[in-house]
Amino acid sequence: MADENRTENPRAGSAAETDALAPAAAVRREPLLLRLPVVRDIRRSVGLQRGMLLTGVVIVGAVVLCAVLAPLIAPYKYNQLANADGYFGAQQPPSAEHPWGTTVGGFDVLSRVIWGTQTAVFVIVVAVVMSLFIGVALGLLSGYFGGWLDRILVVVADAIYAFPSLLLAIVMTIVISGGQSNVVGGVFAAAISITVVFVPQYFRVVRSEAVRLRSEPFVEAAQVLGEPSLKIITRHVYRNATRNIPLVFTLNASEAILTLAALGFLGFGIEPTSAAEWGYDLNKALADVTSGIWWTAVFPGLAIVLTVLGITLVGESMNDLADPRLRRRRSRRVRTEKETANG
Domain count, the chain: 1
Domain boundaries, position 177: 37-341
The CA distance from 42 to 318, in Å, is: 9
10 pLDDT band, cuts 50/70/90, is very low
Residue 28 lies in a domain: no
Residue 17 lies in a domain: no
Confidence check: pLDDT of 26 > 60: no
pLDDT per residue as tens digits for the range 262-275:
888 887 766 666 77
Residue 59 lies in a domain: yes
Residue 328 lies in a domain: yes
Range in 23-32, 133-142, 276-285 the model is least confident about: 23-32
Residue 202's domain is classified under what CATH number?
A: 1.10.3720.10
Give the residue with greater pLDDT, 127 vs 326: 127
Residue 178 lies in a domain: yes
pLDDT per residue as tens digits for the range 53-110:
888 889 999 999 999 999 899 888 888 888 877 788 888 888 888 889 888 888 899 9
Residue 66 lies in a domain: yes
At residue 8, the pLDDT reads 44
Residue 166 lies in a domain: yes
Give the CB-side neighbour count of residue 112, counting CA atoms within 13 A: 37
Give the CB-side neighbour count of residue 12, counting CA atoms within 13 A: 9
pLDDT per residue as tens digits for the range 215-243:
788 878 877 887 787 888 877 788 777 77
Residue 9 lies in a domain: no
